């Protein structure tokens, strides 16, 4: 529960997607799958795949630079990078992103919460701002899942894509548009094997699809209800719902369980697939660009993924710029 009057306020948004697009037809030539299976089961038609010369950090730096441009800032007090596909286990990507952006010797670190990474980073950043430990923060969620999935595994290869999204947060008051009003977050380590990636020589990402599917619906629904309770909103008062973009059927099922009209849910996965931690900021940019997200909207963000970890946040959408680019 956020109790202080001083909180984080969203000041700018940036994204970066790799130029390489791989559609279902291209995947169907290599794997025992089909465009109709992928579309019907997931809603995904294509995903962006970064080439070997584009790293998770490259995407993070470009998205971060775009968010700083969008916010009109050249300096921040801290950098938080959310990623579950780091280029290297050590050191963290945060300091490299900060130095690549010329942000000096600010504190910079990583948050590892997979698909919930963006909202976890938002929660941590709101805490830092709320206590006065930082004023302006650049937070970036960047993923390169094409490194983690087995190119020959149709069960995961068709789902994931690469990309990055970033936000600049500034210090402000609860009654301002863009203020982070409420956060619900949680975890369940007993489900650690449902989605895992041993990395190194250990192999590729593996996911118990059906069980994760059911858990995703359960946790995104219950976490959304808790965050609504914290800010005293009824579900009917939510104008825009921005769920983690894993699967269109999951988004529909969560909307149905919440009795939320489906057209209030932003669905942005058709051409980007599941970009894990980056999926929420990419969906925000998508919604801003096509006008489904409007200033003044009461908004709930919610996510679920490996850990298991889930998180939700509530805010009123501000008048902000979004800068997007490709790499």
| Cβ distance to ligand UT7 smaller for residue 135 or 209 | 209
Alpha-helix runs per DSSP H in 176-326: 209-231, 248-258, 279-290
Residue 194 CB, nearest distance to ligand UT7 (Å)?
9
Residue ranges in contact with ligand UT7 by CB under 6 A = 33, 37-38, 41-42, 115, 154-155, 158, 195, 209-210, 212-213, 216, 246-247, 250, 274, 276, 305
Concerning whether 66 is annotated as a catalytic residue, the answer is no
Q: Distance between CA 194 and CA 307 in Å, rounded? A: 8
User: How far is the first Cα of the chain from the last one, in angstroms, to the nearest whole number?
Assistant: 38
| Cβ distance to ligand UT7 smaller for residue 70 or 313 | 313
Concerning whether 196 is annotated as a catalytic residue, the answer is no
| Cβ distance to ligand UT7 smaller for residue 37 or 204 | 37
Which of 115, 219, 231, 286 is an active site residue? 115
| Cβ distance to ligand UT7 smaller for residue 166 or 194 | 194
Contacts of 107 by beta carbon, 8 Å cutoff, 6+ apart:
77, 78, 79, 134
Q: Are 32 and 152 in contact (CB under 8 A)?
A: no
Residue 258 CB, nearest distance to ligand UT7 (Å)?
17
Residue 199 CB, nearest distance to ligand UT7 (Å)?
17
Q: Distance between CA 303 and CA 262 in Å, rounded? A: 17
DSSP 102-129: T-TT--EEEE--GGGHHHHHHHHHHHHH
- DSSP class of 265: B
| Cβ distance to ligand UT7 smaller for residue 92 or 155 | 155
Concerning whether 274 is annotated as a catalytic residue, the answer is yes
| Cβ distance to ligand UT7 smaller for residue 13 or 306 | 306
* Pairing between β-strand 108-111 and β-strand 78-82 as defined by DSSP bridges: parallel
Residue 311 CB, nearest distance to ligand UT7 (Å)?
13
* Pairing between β-strand 309-316 and β-strand 298-305 as defined by DSSP bridges: antiparallel
Which of 24, 219, 244, 247 is an active site residue? 244
**Residue 179: exposed, middle, or buried by beta-carbon count in 10 A (0-12, 13-18, 19+)?**
buried
Residue 307 CB, nearest distance to ligand UT7 (Å)?
10
**Two tokens at 272?**
């980007």
SS3 224: helix
SS3 142: strand
Residue 16 CB, nearest distance to ligand UT7 (Å)?
20
Task: Point out the residues that are catalytic.
Answer: 115, 244, 274
């Amino acid at each position: 529960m956020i109790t202080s009057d001083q909180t984080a306020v969203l000041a700018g948004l940036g994204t970066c997607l790799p130029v390489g697009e791989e559609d279902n037809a291209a995947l169907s030539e290599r794997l025992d799958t089909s465009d109709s299976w992928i579309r019907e089961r997931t809603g995904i038609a294509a995903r962006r795949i970064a080439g070997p010369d584009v790293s998770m950090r490259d995407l993070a730096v470009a998205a971060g630079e775009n968010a700083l441009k969008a916010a009109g800032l050249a300096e921040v007090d801290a950098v938080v990078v959310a990623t579950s596909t780091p280029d290297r286990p050590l050191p963290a990507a945060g300091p490299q992103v900060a130095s690549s952006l010329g942000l000096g010797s600010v504190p910079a670190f990583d948050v590892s919460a997979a698909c919930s990474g963006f909202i976890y980073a938002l929660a941590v950043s709101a805490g830092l701002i709320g206590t006065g430990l930082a004023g302006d923060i650049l937070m970036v969620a960047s993923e390169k899942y094409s490194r983690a999935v087995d190119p020959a595994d149709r069960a995961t290869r068709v789902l994931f894509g690469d990309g990055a999204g970033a936000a600049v947060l500034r210090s402000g008051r609860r009654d301002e548009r863009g203020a982070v009003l409420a956060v619900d977050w949680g975890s369940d380590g007993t489900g650690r094997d449902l989605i895992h990636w041993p990395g190194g020589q250990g192999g590729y990402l593996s996911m118990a699809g059906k069980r994760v599917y059911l858990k995703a619906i359960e946790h995104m629904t219950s976490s959304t209800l808790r965050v609504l309770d914290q800010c005293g909103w009824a579900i009917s008062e939510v104008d825009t719902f921005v769920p983690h973009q894993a699967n269109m059927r999951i988004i529909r099922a969560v909307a149905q369980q919440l009795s939320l009209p489906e057209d209030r849910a932003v669905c942005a996965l058709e051409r980007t697939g599941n970009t894990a931690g980056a999926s929420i900021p990419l969906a925000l940019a998508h919604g801003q660009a096509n006008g489904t997200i409007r200033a003044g909207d009461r908004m709930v963000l919610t996510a679920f993924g490996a850990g298991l970890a889930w998180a939700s946040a509530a805010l009123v959408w501000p008048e902000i710029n979004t800068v997007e680019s490709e790499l």
